[in-house]
Structure 1
Amino acid sequence: MVFDFHTHHERCGHATGRIQEYIEQAIAKGLQYIGISDHSPYFAEEEDHARPGLTMAKSDFPLYIEEVLQLKERYKSKIEVLLGVESDFFPEHASLYNTIYQHYPLDYIIGSVHFVNGKSIFDKQRWKGLSATDRLREKEDYYALIQQSAKSGMFDILGHIDAMKGYYPEFSEIETDVVDQTLKVIADCDVAIEINTSGKNKDCGGWYPSQQILERACYYHVIPTFGSDAHVPERVGDEWEEVRNQLKYIGFTEWAIFQKRKRILLPL
């Protein structure tokens, strides 16, 4: 069963291609499931379209839902199209986001931390001039948010749980036991994590999460799933087989797909 639960499209402002193009790429590559999971609007902002170029406007969200559902029906004889969203996690606004999502027939929600202490995790400048103590605090604050996202009960999947290394590969070398603590929390909360292959396109040059974290996740019995995080149609399903083989090598025996907010475990 070949699947991809993390894809974007042109609505978010930093991806290219229409949703239909991602679906057709998935069909061409032999996928049985394709999840559409564009970035959630900033629902708590006053403006309809806060921070253009990062996500869609609030007024676009119902149109996004409608389009995915229409395409789900159109392509049902060829592939299972799943309706998802990659949701930013802001603890202070979690209730608002959760209330909004309950109005839509989502198959799954990916919870991702993109901002820590008011700055994007992908901001290359955020690390400049920081002491070792400051860098440690940034990493621990990042994982504190991931722990909160797991405990929130909002999410079926946690997105790219070490993506803060994207443009700062040294992030992985900051020594702390907070990663193990976080994996324990994720396991206790019974939330899946994605193996996200988009990190290879950033300075870190590898998947999210790293091999070391995946080995620890296996030890704690965390459930994995797969997402390419495609921002161009050609990347749909990118390295799915390589991820499957690596998970088997590490010791995982199953991974998850999602429909109607229910998790289904499949053998690797």
Structure 2
Amino acid sequence: MKFDFHTHHERCGHAVGSVREYIEAAIGQGMAMIGISDHTPFFASKEDRPSLSGSMARSEFPAYIKEVLQLKEEYEGKIEVLLGIEADFLPEHLDLYRSVIATYPFDYVIGSVHEFAGIGIYDSEFWEGLTSVRKLEVKNLFYDFIAQSAKCGLYDILGHVDSLNRYFYGYPELRTEAADITLKAIADSDVVIEINSSDDNWVPDGYFLERALHHGVKVTFGSDAHEPERVGEHFEAVGRHLYDIGYREWAIFRNRKRLMVPILQ
């Protein structure tokens, strides 16, 4: 079974293509399931759209839900379309996000960390200015934030875990016991982590996934596609990679319920 649970589209302001185009691309890839999971609006902001390139407008959110549900019905029998969402982990606004998300019939919710302790995950310039000791402290802070997101109970999937691998040079070589503490928290919380194949630089890396398997952490796949032609990218290669590590199954979702399916069939 081929699937992809992490895709974006034009509403978020930093992806291209309509929801329909992503579904059609998935059909062209022979996929059985395609999850649409654009970024939530900034629900806590007084502005309808505080960032034109950061997320969809709050006023667009009901239209997003309606469109995906209509397309789910339209494409029934051709491909299973899933209603998902990617929500930032914002501890100070958890109750607000929880109440909004509970209003809609999502198949799954991805929780992602894009900022932690005032640090942006894309801020490689900030990272380069740190001492080696401070870099380790920052990595530990990031892992603690991931653990908090797992424990909060809002998410079914944790998105691009260990994403700092992509942006912070030398990050993977900084070994810390915080990784195992975080993975144990994820396992205890029974949350799934995705293997995110975006940018041809998969995260998490093999070391982290080996530790994840050791702790019993379940996995799924998300391309994080921001262009329709990248839907499902590297799906087969990621599956083989996981199989080589020792995984034999990964997770799919419907109606916020998880089902484990074989990786290689």
Q: How does 1:40-189 map to 2 (within 5 A)?
A: 40-189=40-189
Q: How many residues align?
A: 263
Q: How does 1:245-264 map to 2 (within 5 A)?
A: 245-264=240-259
Indicate how the Cα distance of structure 1 residues 143 and 15 shifts in structure 2: closer, same or farther if over 3 A, else same.
Answer: same
SS at match of 1:184: helix
Name the residue aligned to 2:198.
198
SS at match of 2:111: strand
Q: TM-score, normalised by structure 1?
A: 0.96
Q: Is the 8 A contact 1:114 1:121 kept in 2?
A: yes
After TM superposition, give the deviation of residue 21 of structure 1 in Å.
0.4
After TM superposition, give the deviation of residue 157 of structure 1 in Å.
0.3
Matched AA of 1:104: Y
User: Which shows bigger deviation, 44-53 or 31-40?
Assistant: 44-53
After TM superposition, give the deviation of residue 44 of structure 1 in Å.
1.1
Matched AA of 1:241: E
Structure 1 residue 213 corresponds to structure 2 residue 208: yes
Q: TM-score, normalised by structure 2?
A: 0.97
Deviations 1:4-48 (A, max 9, x none): 000000111110111100000000110000000001111111211
CA distance in 1, matches of 2:42, 2:166: 22
After TM superposition, give the deviation of residue 116 of structure 1 in Å.
1.5
CA distance in 2, matches of 1:59, 1:118: 27
CA distance in 2, matches of 1:176, 1:215: 15
Deviations 1:176-198 (A, max 9, x none): 11111111110111100000101
Name the residue aligned to 1:38.
38
Matched AA of 2:138: E
Q: Is the 8 A contact 2:124 2:169 kept in 1?
A: no
CA distance in 1, matches of 2:36, 2:61: 13
After TM superposition, give the deviation of residue 199 of structure 1 in Å.
4.1
> Which of 247, 256, 266 is the matching residue for 2:261?
266
Q: How does 1:18-37 map to 2 (within 5 A)?
A: 18-37=18-37
Structure 1 residue 238 corresponds to structure 2 residue 217: no
Name the residue aligned to 1:203.
none
Deviations 1:57-98 (A, max 9, x none): 111111111111111111112000000001100111111100
Q: Is the 8 A contact 1:163 1:199 kept in 2?
A: no
Deviations 1:200-227 (A, max 9, x none): 2xxxxx2010011111111111101000
Matched AA of 1:38: D
Q: Is the 8 A contact 1:225 1:256 kept in 2?
A: yes
Percent of aligned pairs with the same residue? 54
Q: Is the 8 A contact 2:2 2:31 kept in 1?
A: yes
Structure 2: 5+ residue runs without aligned partners?
none
Matched AA of 1:61: F
User: Which shows bigger deviation, 183-192 or 122-131?
Assistant: 122-131
Instruction: Name segments (4+ residues, structure 1) moved above 2 Å.
Output: none
CA RMSD of aligned residues (A): 1.0
Q: Is the 8 A contact 1:199 1:208 kept in 2?
A: no
Indicate how the Cα distance of structure 1 residues 236 and 132 shifts in structure 2: closer, same or farther if over 3 A, else same.
Answer: same
Q: Is the 8 A contact 2:196 2:202 kept in 1?
A: yes
After TM superposition, give the deviation of residue 51 of structure 1 in Å.
2.0
